[in-house]
Amino acid sequence: MQGLEQLLLGVALAAYLAAAVLYTFGLAFKRREAGGLAFVVLGVGFLGQTASIIARWVEGGQLPLTSLFETLVFLSWCVVLLSIIADRRYTAQAAGIILVPTAFFLTAAAVLMYEGPRELREELQTHWLLIHAGLSVFGYAAFTVAFATGFFYVVQEDLLKKKYQQVRTLIHSLVVAFGTSLGLYVGYVIADPTLFEDALGNRVYGYSSSDWTIIGVGAAVGLAASLVIGWVAARGASRPSFANRLPALHLLDRLSFHSVLFGLVLLAFGIVSGAMWAKVAWGSWWEWDPKETWALISWVFYAGYVGMRGLANWRGRNAALIAIVGMFLIVFTFLGINLFVPGRHDFN
């Protein structure tokens, strides 16, 4: 079964890479047929990844959401599903330029740390895992869509106002941030820090000086590569004609807002179900564990966005900028906490 799962993941990974290239080519050269082919290839990858998740679910007996590998696979699956919906329902094909590469790198990162199903701790052998973790991760994927569409809103508005230097700066900054983060994460995977329990019983990572060196080198390589790639991408996307290839501003604003609402509802149910699970497993509704605390902070942040949109008419650029900033909060909540802050919500 594991061999089949790995094969299906490999198919998905190759399809996501091809779809990312086709989406980029189609938008850069205004080739609709490339975008259509990208959607078909993306669908093939999505079906392959769905089959791999089902295969692991059958083998393990429950939704695979108990390790970093499994969570990354599920997150990338959610991102692709929402990307397909954005393409079909909102005709926002441009969002695929961010969402599909994101899904590819999430899947690639998962493949690097592949591990077979393992025996779960008793507290994880419950239906609460499916409800709490599944809803929370799906919510993170929705916020990713809000980020992608918010980002393109700012790009589109600046292009229409002929602020081409701002477009170059924004795109270059995004690529550099993404590339450096990816290099940092690859460095972490290669370093493989030691896992141990602290005095409070929390499972934490111990980083040696050599581990930090490897992580630093990974970040430096990612930074160097992204500086070059970002410069090329920024030059291409800052051309006046690029504005004609992006969705209308009102469409991007609506999709970003709907994605935030969807993510907010999912994360709310994820937090509430987690509190109910904690009561059953640990006897307490809330313990201010770093993961649950930052999940609550993220929810309050996006709830504030929704409130300001309704009360202070924060729409358009203001809303888009909030969606962009919020993504960094989500990344820290989802991944940063698990890697660098001790707590019960680890992937081990």
Q: H or E element: which one contains 81?
A: helix 68-89
∠ CA 165-249-149 to the nearest 5 degrees? Answer: 80
3-state secondary structure of 347: coil
Decide if 253 is inside a domain.
no
What is residue 343's DSSP assignment? Answer: B
At position 86, the amino acid (one-letter code) is: A
Decide if 304 is inside a domain.
no
Q: Is pLDDT of 347 > 70? A: no
Decide if 30 is inside a domain.
yes
Range of the domain at 110: 1-120
Place of tokens 């569409």: 149
pLDDT value of position 121:
67
Confidence label for 146 from pLDDT (cuts 50, 70 and 90): very high
Q: Is pLDDT of 198 > 70? A: no
pLDDT value of position 204:
62
What is residue 119's DSSP assignment? Answer: P
pLDDT value of position 196:
61
Confidence label for 45 from pLDDT (cuts 50, 70 and 90): very high
pLDDT value of position 197:
61
Domain count, the chain: 1
Decide if 276 is inside a domain.
no
Task: Render pLDDT for 249-300 as a digit per residue (tens, 0 to 9).
Answer: 888 888 899 999 999 999 999 999 888 877 776 677 777 777 888 889 999 9
Prediction pTM value: 0.83
| CA separation, residue 63 to residues 57, 74, 78, 117, 146 (Å) | 5, 9, 14, 11, 26
| CA separation, residue 341 to residues 110, 206, 269 (Å) | 21, 11, 24
Confidence label for 205 from pLDDT (cuts 50, 70 and 90): low
Confidence label for 8 from pLDDT (cuts 50, 70 and 90): confident
CB 299 within 8 A of CB 148: no
Q: Is pLDDT of 219 > 90? A: no
Confidence label for 348 from pLDDT (cuts 50, 70 and 90): low
Confidence label for 1 from pLDDT (cuts 50, 70 and 90): low
Q: Is pLDDT of 341 > 80? A: no
**Average pLDDT of span 97-125:** 77
Q: Is pLDDT of 203 > 70? A: no
Q: What is the CA radius of gyration of the chain?
A: 20
The CATH number of residue 11's host domain is 1.20.120
Q: Is pLDDT of 132 > 70? A: yes
**Average pLDDT of span 183-204:** 68
Angle between helices 96-112 and 68-89 (to 10 degrees): 160
Task: Render pLDDT for 69-96 as a digit per residue (tens, 0 to 9).
Answer: 888 899 999 999 998 988 888 776 667 7
Decide if 344 is inside a domain.
no
**Average pLDDT of span 190-217:** 71
Q: H or E element: which one contains 196?
A: strand 194-197
Task: Render pLDDT for 286-302 as a digit per residue (tens, 0 to 9).
Answer: 777 778 888 899 999 99
- DSSP code string of 297-317: HHHHHHHHHHHHHHHS---TH
CA atoms in the 13 A half-sphere facing the CB of 242? 26
CB 42 within 8 A of CB 14: no
- DSSP code string of 267-278: HHHHHHHHHHHH
What is residue 117's DSSP assignment? Answer: -
Q: Is pLDDT of 128 > 80? A: no
Task: Render pLDDT for 301-322 as a digit per residue (tens, 0 to 9).
Answer: 999 989 888 777 777 888 899 9
Decide if 298 is inside a domain.
no
Decide if 222 is inside a domain.
no
Q: Kindly state the percentage of the chain with pLDDT values over 70.
A: 83
pLDDT value of position 120:
65
- Residue 243 tokens read as 């504005």
Decide if 317 is inside a domain.
no
